[in-house]
Amino acid sequence: MIKVTNLAGEPFLLNAEMVRYVEARPDTFVTMSQGERIVVRESMDEVLRLCLEYQRAKQWIPAPRAATRTASEGRAA
């Protein structure tokens, strides 16, 4: 999810996974994968930056492990 602002100045969260494309006309239009169009205050470049930041952040969260190792398990014998 990315935080953007509608034209009334109210922030909301937008599912970055569902963004199909972004246009500057001169307002910024975000078209979602289902065809819905949303106008936001952020520039096209800012929406791109937020979407890229979101995608990069997803890779930084480690996958859950099946079991937690203790400190003694990690040491060589």
C-alpha separations of 56 from 29, 31, 33, 50, 70 in Å: 23, 21, 20, 10, 30
Positive or negative, the Cα torsion across 59, 62, 65, 70? positive
- pTM for this predicted structure: 0.74
Q: Tens of pLDDT along 33-70? A: 999 999 999 999 999 999 989 988 888 766 677 765 65
Share of the chain above pLDDT 90, in %: 68
Contact 9, 40 (CB under 8 A): no
